[in-house]
Amino acid sequence: MSKYGIGQPVLRFEDPRLLRGQGRYINDVNLPGQAHAVFVRSPHAHARINRIDTAAAAAAPGVLAVYTGHDVVADGLGMPKANMPRKRPDGKPMFAPQRPALVTDRVRYVGDPVAMVVAATLAEAKDAAELVEIDYEAIPSVTSTEDTVKPGAPAVWDDCPDNISNFIERGNKAATDEAIKGAAKVIKRRYAITRVHAQYMEPRGTLGTYDQGEDRMILYADVQYPHRVRNMLAQSVFKVPESKMRVIAQDVGGGFGTKGWQYVEHRLTLWAARKLLRPVKWTCERSEAVMADEHGRDNIGEIELALDKDNRFVALRLNMLANIGAYVGSDRNLLSPFGMIGTVLGVYMIPTAYINVIGVLSNTNPTAPYRGAGRPEAIYLIERLIDDAARELGVDRVELRRRNMLPEKALPYQSPVGPFYDCGEFEKNMDMALKLADVEGYGARAEESKKRGKLRGLGIVNAIEQAAGTAQPEYAEIRFNPSGTAALLMGTKNQGQGHETMFKQILNERLGIDPADVQFIDGDTDRVAFGMGTNGSRSTVLGGSALFLAAGKVIEKGKKLAGHLLEAGEQDIEFADGTFTVKGTDKSVPLKQVAMAAFNPTKWPKSGFEGGLYENATFLGEKDTYPNGCHICEVEIDPETGEVKLDRYAVVDDVGTVMNPIGLKGQIHGGVAQGVGQILGEQVVWDRESGQLLTASFLDYTMPRADTMCSMEIKSNPVPTKYNPLGAKGAGEAGTVGAMPAVMNAVLDALAPLGVRDVAMPASAQNVWRAIQAAGK
């Protein structure tokens, strides 16, 4: 077995250059003569713009231009829009207000961009931006999700007085209502899931330039979907052929979904570069990021679980409010949690269910996919409810889960709300995790904590997610050089996940090529023919499968030439471990030599062979995949201060075929950290009365630190899927999906003896202490 093949613990090929500071991030890209842009953003959550005076700013030293929304409109720039079929509950079409590049009449959240200042230097642009005078007339705002639909709530848009943009429903409402009505027991809860920001290592940036000779725009940006960004800019904004637009995304300092696409700064820097005939660069300040970016999560779910007399689940009903912010600039703003809420049934047999999700508008940043994109929210709802049900019914939570879990013999299983689970070993995951976490020894640890005056809690969660969506295909290309080395071009986009390593492993497994002989290329729409980018744990499943198929084409073409070189029929040629061999003989030729011969006409058969060796493939999965697993967390709480300490964490995951155990553990670690961060501290907060953003910097937005985490035990229980040639299910978001409910369930388990039934997310020391005090009264 090759040390670089699938399943091998290969250290990342990317890391040496990144650790030496040789990466090429967006702020490392600079062009001769570039100017710098600064945006003037609204300080109000909701206000009318009575007047914008740019005269003083335009006259400031070094200023090249000051643009407002009127300039954008005058030049005829288009606005992308959402295309998903949605309606309002009253049957009317979805109310989906498009997002202007610069606002002209009314700002609708703190950070809404109003003006753009371009100057020769960044310092000059910043100084001039402070001279832009804007006369705002503040009007009432609504930032809280639950407040958006209350009677008398301020309307974000006059044409939508109830602030309801759209809704979706799944399942059978009548049957669910009837089942709940006739159930022996019904457990009902209301869970609020807070809003968070991605807080990646490098804030966003963009550099736009215009080639006057070719009449062509080039955008350098840290985006996750370069080809989709190009298509959107060309077709929807500038209305030019795609050949007139190039997008280049190099190293990306973290994305997590929030750097997907569709930010106004992209189109504005390109537009300004074309007007000024010089490159224009914008770099987001860390203190600007929370105001400038899309956010994640932010929803409230009212959920009911009905059980029969034997404590078997018979029905589930969920009514959810999802805060989508002030604008619906693209389908991205409708994806979370609308597209993934079907996994709210978890890994359990629930024969009847109904889900209703209402998207509400608010005076906040738009929300969009953030690591998990609705799947952590779904599992948070069901797994918290099962724990609450176990407490209320006085039964063991593990036994309640086991009694209702989908057995292997029930798979494949069609959920009543959409998902199709093709394979998995859910009970085995849980049993492995119980052993890995030493749950048998939990009682002794809890007693030891009690002796020290601390509270210990245990959280057990079974997670499943819908990944690698089949709505969009993915592309891979293998190009051999005359020397026998190769270039690997992928339509996915790496943002730190280790794509180069993983894809080279797949190529090594299929073709036996030494990774050192492979050049990895992604993120450039001129070099890579096609791609849908990276999101939703799709890169291995779809991109890897496309590469698998492209490699198969290389093998088939190589057999024709190898047969000629070995003086044998094509049908007699076998390929394995990078070598073509005549069946039953020791006559062989390595792939590298065949690749070199493919560029030498003297080596070709006399007829029927097209020179060169370069193949591509596009793969679209037949069905979505469903990574799953079990998370077990232990926390210790100081009842005097409310401080929560993460003490133990164990994960058993099933992501299908494991490409690289080291990379997988890194993905799980990172995903868990983001889930832990949201539960223990992260939250975007506005003042409820004034609409002012209160968490714009790390002084107020709590980030998880190294000492927030604990050591983790991780094992895999892979059950490959048959719906792609690799058997992969996806791993990028699995950690977050399980971590959120695991940590919160552990916190509530620790506090249950004190009578605490709920803790407002995040479970910060303050919120936990308040819950303890309230229960004591």
End-to-end CA distance of the chain: 65
pLDDT digit string, tens, across residues 363-402? 999 999 999 999 999 999 999 999 999 999 999 999 999 9
Token digits of residue 462: 């079974």
The answer on pLDDT for 420 being more than 80 is: yes
- Tokens 């009694």 locate to 403
Give the H or E element holding residue 678. helix 661-680
Q: How far is it, in rounded angstroms, from Cα 418 to Cα 406?
A: 16
Residue among 210, 244, 252 nearest 34 (CA): 210
Whole-number pLDDT of residue 410: 97
- Average pLDDT of the segment spanning 279-289: 97
- Average pLDDT of the segment spanning 68-95: 95
Residue among 682, 710, 711, 742 nearest 461 (CA): 742
Residue 708 CB coordination number (10 Å) = 16
**In the predicted model, what is the mean pLDDT of the chain?**
96
- Does residue 53 contact residue 132 with C-beta atoms inside 8 Å? yes
pLDDT digit string, tens, across residues 573-622? 999 999 999 999 999 999 999 999 999 999 999 888 999 999 999 999 99
pLDDT digit string, tens, across residues 15-37? 999 999 999 999 999 999 999 99
Whole-number pLDDT of residue 325: 98
The answer on pLDDT for 470 being more than 90 is: no
Q: How far is it, in rounded angstroms, from Cα 400 to Cα 386?
A: 8
The answer on pLDDT for 2 being more than 80 is: no
Residue among 458, 317, 427, 324 nearest 381 (CA): 317
Token digits of residue 148: 């958006």
Residue 556 CB coordination number (10 Å) = 12
Residue among 385, 336, 349 nearest 168 (CA): 336
- The pLDDT confidence band at residue 338, using thresholds 50, 70 and 90, is confident
| φ, ψ (nearest 5 deg) of residue 431 | -65, -40
pLDDT digit string, tens, across residues 154-187? 999 999 999 999 999 999 999 999 999 999 999 9
Whole-number pLDDT of residue 393: 97
Whole-number pLDDT of residue 190: 98
Q: pTM, whole model, 2 decimals? A: 0.96
- Does residue 338 contact residue 374 with C-beta atoms inside 8 Å? yes
Residue among 667, 643, 672 nearest 743 (CA): 672
Burial of 233 (0-12, 13-18, 19+ CB in 10 A): buried
Q: How far is it, in rounded angstroms, from Cα 423 to Cα 569?
A: 41
Strand 35-41 and strand 280-283: the pairing is parallel
Token digits of residue 723: 């719906």
- Average pLDDT of the segment spanning 548-573: 96
Q: How far is it, in rounded angstroms, from Cα 509 to Cα 118?
A: 50
Whole-number pLDDT of residue 252: 96
Coil/strand/helix, residue 84: coil
Q: How far is it, in rounded angstroms, from Cα 605 to Cα 653?
A: 50
- Does residue 774 contact residue 651 with C-beta atoms inside 8 Å? no
Give the H or E element holding residue 736. helix 734-751
| Cα dihedral 524/529/530/536 (nearest 10) | -50
pLDDT digit string, tens, across residues 183-231? 999 999 999 999 999 999 999 999 999 999 999 999 999 999 999 999 9
The answer on pLDDT for 275 being more than 60 is: yes
- Half-sphere exposure (Cβ direction) of 12: Cα atoms closer than 13 Å: 18
- Average pLDDT of the segment spanning 329-335: 90
Coil/strand/helix, residue 588: strand
Whole-number pLDDT of residue 1: 55
Whole-number pLDDT of residue 335: 87
Whole-number pLDDT of residue 3: 86
pLDDT digit string, tens, across residues 749-765? 999 999 999 999 999 99
pLDDT digit string, tens, across residues 83-110? 988 999 999 999 999 999 999 999 999 9
- Return the ∠ at Cα 75 (arms to 70 and 53), rounded to 5°: 25
